[in-house]
Structure 1
Amino acid sequence: MRRAFLLTAALIAPLAVHAAAPAQQSEARIERLTPALDALIAPGAAIERVATGFGFTEGPLWHDGRLWFSDVTGDTLRAVDASGRVQELIANAGGLTDPPPGKSIGPNGLVPDRDGSVLMAQMGARRIVRVGRDQRVMPLLADYRGKRLNSPNDLAYAADGALWFTDPPFGLFNGMDRDPAKQLPFNAVFRYARGVLTPVITDLKLPNGIGFSPDGRTLYVTDYGPPGTIYAYRVGRGGVVSARRVLIRFPAGGPGGADGLKVDRRGNVWATGPGGIRIISPAGKVLGRIVLPEVAANLAFADDGHTLYITASTSVYRLRTAVAGILPRYTR
């Protein structure tokens, strides 16, 4: 059992996928709903498909000059460079020794840690692990008060160094909340600080994407839905949240659901949802939309903050932005 989790750099091998030309406008487009979008995405900016041929891509993270990303149904952690060259970093990355094919049992959210390692949510093993620079996998968080986590999904570090993550039941593939393997009575947003794990929010149905405003005083959490809602919370000392408000209720229609989100340095929220990615002002106004030929699950700012990578079903896409996005706290 332990050997399945200790995968070393010797197992890294190139993957037979290809870089793709920029997507055609009939396939991918930017909808400019307000003139304010021009300051965030310059007119004429092109959407590129960087690589394709995966199962279901998720958890993008810019790390050491490459984009790391998860294949949830392919049970693999991979990295792609700016030219589109893909490497397999860890096989069986969801942590199950004999995973059922086609299920959401692979890795998901990724976040860099202060020591240069990467924290990875394992949907299959229902835990958060640390991926070292040699690709060794070490368990970090697996239970709350002796009860197993549901299926850690997305992660973010707050300004005070506390780790926050969402724990929906998507990895419980025998009925999610109805799965007999579910042990917790809620699907929480957790905070982990100084060795203590705390369920801060417990009244959401399917907590998913998570992120903070530039000043760290507002927490954004996606409740998947469908069609889904993004809530904003005021964050106080010790991670106490209050003053919940609705940032956006997604309209029904279009493929996909309310999933991952990221925030730019001006405080706008870039969020996946039905029919594409919406760019939403801190006041909840939709400024524009990125529409792709595939369902977008998550996104990440990269490089100097002006490159946006999008994980969308079988592919990874890229877009240059005029505004810089907030990079994770411990980005290398």
Structure 2
Amino acid sequence: MKLEPFLSGLCFGEAPRWHDGRLWFSDFYIHQVRAVDESGKAETVVEVPGRPSGLGWRPDGTMLIVSMTDRRLMRFSTGTLSREAELGSLATGQCNDMVVDGHGRAYVGNFGYDRHAGEAQRTTCLIRVDPDRSVHRAADDLLSPNGTVITPDGGTMIVAETFAHRLTAFDVAADGTLSNRRLWATIEGCYPDGICLDAEGAIWVSDPFGHRVLRVLEGGRITHSIDLAPRGAYACMLGGQDRRTLYVITNSGSGPAMADKRDGRIEVLRVDVPGAGWP
């Protein structure tokens, strides 16, 4: 199995999402949310001064965007970007990825500490923002909560804890609260970043430092491992009209030094099992 080039010239892509017939993604060092159709035609949708990351949509079509550096959740509707919620009281590091569920609730991760400034690792929380704009602590003691998926029935959430080398699951109650925390999979030597779920319940995992993308079953068995060396995989999404195209965002490195480069790419692979659930 080999990925094929799809879109090049990105600065640092993040949070690919299949929505309304296009792949949407953040290019965060140039402060842009972009969308590209299956032919490869791309456009800039909105610029986010605080550096965009996680993306999602509420059932009414409102787009939500994580604003990393000012630790905010933004909304983009009818051509206007506005503040939805302040997250700084709970986020101990820059905000990052997000999943928006079928009820319009946004679950936002944050790094917890500044790795690039040499700060020591510490755990942080996952933040939930409800449609009424109220902000809640959804889960504690997560180590770099990153990519997040929700199963098609809305009942289970799985979070990638990047520097803990694991995927962690929770039950999701009707009011959005999380409980029954449990280990979904430990992946030794893997730093799970962006993830996406397929219809067989497997998770595709981007592993930036392992230079690969993996398909993992609950319990940790790896069914597919695609080598990308020397490039790293930072996020992935199952999209296309049949949701059988795996889009993988890759780059030559990460961190602030990437702001002056244009090494980012989106690469693609056709797979047998379609995407499912959220995002």
- For residues 148 and 223 of structure 1, the distance between their equivalents in structure 2, rounded to whole angstroms, comes to 15
Partners in 2 of 1:194 and 1:157 — Cα distance? 10
> SS at 1:231's partner residue?
strand
| Equivalent residue number for residue 51 of structure 1 | 7
Structure number with the higher strand fraction is: 2
Contact 2:58 2:102 in 1 (8 A): no
Which residue of structure 2 lines up, in the alignment, with residue 84 of structure 1?
40
Whether the 8 Å contact between 2:184 and 2:220 is mirrored in structure 1 is yes
Q: Which amino acid aligns with 2:224?
A: G
Structure-to-structure mapping, 1:261-276, within 5 angstroms: 261-273=195-207, 274-276=210-212
- Per the TM alignment, residue 174 of structure 1 is displaced from its structure 2 partner at its CA by 4.8
The verdict on how the C-alpha distance between 1:326 and 1:121 changes in structure 2, with shifts beyond 3 A counting, is same
Q: Distance in 1 between matches of 2:86 and 2:92?
A: 6
Aligned to 1:5: none
Unaligned runs of 5+ in 1: 1-29, 31-45, 97-105, 179-184
Q: Give, in whole Å, the separation in 1 of the partners of 2:201 and 2:266.
A: 24
Whether contact under 8 Å (1:230, 1:248) holds in the other structure is yes
1:197 aligns with 2:142: no
> Counterpart of 2:130 in structure 1: which amino acid?
A
1:1-332 mapped onto 2 (5 Å cutoff)? 30=1, 47-91=3-47, 93=48, 95-96=49-50, 106-134=51-79, 136-143=80-87, 150-169=93-112, 174=117, 187-195=124-132, 196-225=134-163, 228-252=165-189, 257-273=191-207, 274-293=210-229, 294-302=231-239, 303-313=241-251, 314-326=264-276, 328=278
The 3-state SS of whatever aligns with 1:73 is: helix
Deviation string, structure 1 residues 164-206 (Cα, Å, up to 9, x no partner) = 221224779655679xxxxxx9621122225332112110121
Report the 3-state secondary structure (helix = DSSP H, G, I; strand = E; otherwise coil) of the residue aligned with 2:175. helix
TM-score (norm. length: structure 2): 0.82
Instruction: Give the share of equivalent positions with the same residue, in percent.
Output: 26
Q: Would you say how many aligned residue pairs link Structure 1 and Structure 2? A: 262
Distance verdict in 2 for CA 1:292–1:170, change over 3 Å: farther
Q: Give the counterpart letter for 1:261 in structure 2.
A: I
- The change in CA–CA distance for 1:81 and 1:289 in structure 2 (over 3 A counts) is same
1:262 is paired with a residue of what secondary structure?
strand
SS in 2 for 1:114: coil
- Deviation, 1:160, is 4.3
1:219/1:125 Cα in 2 relative to 1: closer, same or farther (>3 Å)?
same
Q: Distance in 2 between matches of 1:141 and 1:225?
A: 27
Tell me, in whole angstroms, the C-alpha distance in 1 between the residues paired with 2:155 and 2:140: 20
How many angstroms apart in 1 are the aligned matches of 2:77 and 2:114? 24
Q: For residue 95 of structure 2, give the secondary structure of its aligned residue in structure 1.
A: coil
**Quick check: 2:146–2:160 contact (8 Å CA) kept in 1?**
yes
- The answer as to whether partners of 2:145 and 2:160 remain within 8 angstroms in 1 is yes
For structure 2, the 5+ residue unaligned runs are 252-263
Residues 68 and 77 of structure 1 are in contact (CA less than 8 Å); yes or no, is this contact kept in structure 2? yes
- Aligned-partner SS, 2:189: coil
Question: Which has more radius of gyration?
Answer: 1
- Residues 70-104 of structure 1 show CA distances to partners (whole Å, capped at 9, x for unaligned) of 1122332222221222223334x2x24xxxxxxxx
Cα distance 1:300–1:176, how it changes in 2: closer, same or farther (>3 A)?
farther
